Amino acid sequence: MTESGAKPVYDAAEITLARLNELLPLAANQAALTPSFRQLHIAILKGLADSNRPLAIEAMCEKSGIDDASAAIAELVKQDLVVTNSDGVVIGAYPMIREPREHMVMLGTLELRAMCAVDALAIGMMFKQPTMIRSRCRATDSIVIINQDGEQVDAMGQCPDLHVGIQWQATDGCAAKTICLDMIYLCSAKVAAEWQGDTVETRSVLTLAEAIKLSRDFFMPLLAE
């Protein structure tokens, strides 16, 4: 049993970034695309952050100089850069997804869903707007509220000592359906230590400050010109 004053074994953002890039090399996968496909991926990201209207994929492809929209989306799915539903409709691109997730992000007046706890921290930084994140501690179900402006955050709700946990696992070609489901908020150092237990190799814990660095370095290259 974890002692009441116990703390988890912490990972630094740099170490976690390297490990995450081995499983989901988003920036490298995007960089390997043709210029037109990369332009399409960026357009999808911006479209997801602009409104909750259906994405105008055909128009995005036309603007990017792509003739075959289906082939383009298939390539982005293959590279695990976008997520589609059973009908082949694009519903997400890391860090955002249009399906129920526990991480709600208010970007201005727009309500978005993030794929995971780390992704939620990226949205405001990527689109240069303050955000309010509402989520929950996976271990205690306590309410998580984060007011974020760039890299400055104020953790409120029931979890002022907020931590982020990652349970490492294979992505099986789609991180959104695997590891993203286990990248979570934990409401305190004590709870994080209990969640981590003796599984340090498979369960990483980051402070909120380190999680923000991880999120910044993982996602910001995707919108670089």
Q: Same domain for 215 and 195? A: yes
In this structure, what token pair is assigned to residue 43?
Answer: 């357009």
Q: Same domain for 159 and 201? A: yes
Backbone φ, ψ for residue 19 (5° rounding): -70, -40
H/E run at residue 117: helix 117-127
pLDDT at 1 over 50: no
Q: Same domain for 161 and 196? A: yes
Q: How many domains does the chain have?
A: 2
Sign of CA dihedral 173, 176, 178, 184: positive
Answer whether 133's CB lies under 8 Å from 105's CB. yes
Q: Same domain for 72 and 178? A: no
pLDDT at 202 over 90: yes
Q: Domain boundary at 66, 93, 120, which?
A: 93
Q: Same domain for 81 and 112? A: no
Q: Does some domain include residue 215? A: yes
Q: Domain boundary at 41, 72, 93, which?
A: 93
pTM: 0.95
Q: Same domain for 197 and 128? A: yes
In this structure, what token pair is assigned to residue 54?
Answer: 């259906």
pLDDT-wise least confident of 3-7, 12-16, 67-71, 172-176: 3-7
CA-based nearest residue to 215, from 167, 187, 180, 190:
180
Q: Does some domain include residue 3? A: no
Looking up tokens 């890299």 gives: 151
Q: What pLDDT digit, counting tens, does each position of 106-144 carry?
A: 999 999 999 999 999 999 999 999 999 999 999 999 999
- The C-alpha torsion from 152 through 105 and 136 to 41, rounded to 10°, is -100
Residue 194: count other Cβ atoms within 10 Å of its Cβ: 17
Q: Does some domain include residue 181? A: yes
Residue range 184-188: average pLDDT? Answer: 97
By residue range, what is the domain housing residue 135?
13-24+97-223
